[in-house]
Every structure is written in structure tokens, then in C-alpha cells.
């Protein structure tokens, strides 16, 4: 099936992209996954832009200019992921993705 409604040059952000995908595929919501190849676990969004982590995965936000400064809930910064499912391998990833944490296990990806 070809979806002709996708026009990347017109995307104004995640909301616009999800709106075009919903329209093109005839869906009410677009669900998303956030995870890295190097990690076993993923966080999932049920269409509201907020991702939820499983209990063994934790996301925290760090300052974009100081990798040792952990930011409070509600502040924007780079996303760090700890995945305890990664036994005997890398269990921590410091990304360059921008995000904001909203509660203990909920966060959003901003860029």
C-alpha cells in the first residue's frame, strides 16, 4: 500500500507527522517505541507522545553541556538510559536525544 499523504517537507513536528500517518493509514493513534540496538528493553508510547519504561529500565535527563549533572523532572536535556536487562553487556547509554522526564517512568522525546 502506498501512502501519498506523507510530505516530510511539511512536518512541523511529531504531532504533524502522527496526524499525517493517522490520516494516511486510517488510524486514530500512532504508537511509538523508543529503544537502542545496544539495549534489550524499549519504552512505548500509546499515542500520546509520553513513553513508559518497564520496571527494569530507567530514563533520566542530563544537562546538555555537563554530562554529570542530572536534571529534575520537567527540565529538558539529553536522555540517558539504564537497562538492567542487559546482563553481561552495556547497561547504560548516554544519548544525544533531547527529552523531558514527566514522572518516575514517563518521558517524552523532543528531538
In this predicted structure, what is the pLDDT of residue 86?
Answer: 80
φ/ψ of 77, rounded to 5, equals: -170, -165
Evaluate if pTM is beyond 0.75: yes
The model's pLDDT over 34-63, given as tens digits with 9 standing for 90+, comes to: 988 888 899 999 888 899 999 999 999 999
Q: Identify the segments of the chain with pLDDT beneath 70.
A: 1-12
Q: Are 56 and 41 in contact (CB under 8 A)?
A: yes
In this predicted structure, what is the pLDDT of residue 65?
Answer: 94
Q: Are 98 and 110 in contact (CB under 8 A)?
A: yes
Residue carrying C-alpha cell 513508559: 52
Amino acid at each position: 500500500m502506498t501512502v501519498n499523504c506523507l510530505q516530510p517537507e511539511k512536518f512541523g513536528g511529531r504531532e504533524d507527522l502522527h496526524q499525517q500517518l493517522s490520516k494516511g493509514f486510517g488510524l486514530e493513534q500512532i504508537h511509538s517505541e523508543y529503544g537502542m540496538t545496544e539495549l534489550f528493553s524499549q519504552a512505548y508510547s500509546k499515542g500520546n507522545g509520553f513513553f513508559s519504561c518497564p520496571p527494569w529500565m530507567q530514563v533520566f535527563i542530563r544537562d546538555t553541556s555537563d554530562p554529570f549533572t542530572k536534571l529534575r523532572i520537567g527540565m529538558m536535556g539529553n536522555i540517558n538510559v539504564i537497562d538492567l536487562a542487559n546482563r553481561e553487556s552495556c547497561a547504560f547509554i548516554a544519548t544525544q536525544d533531547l527529552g523531558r522526564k514527566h514522572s518516575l517512568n514517563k518521558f517524552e522525546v523532543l528531538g
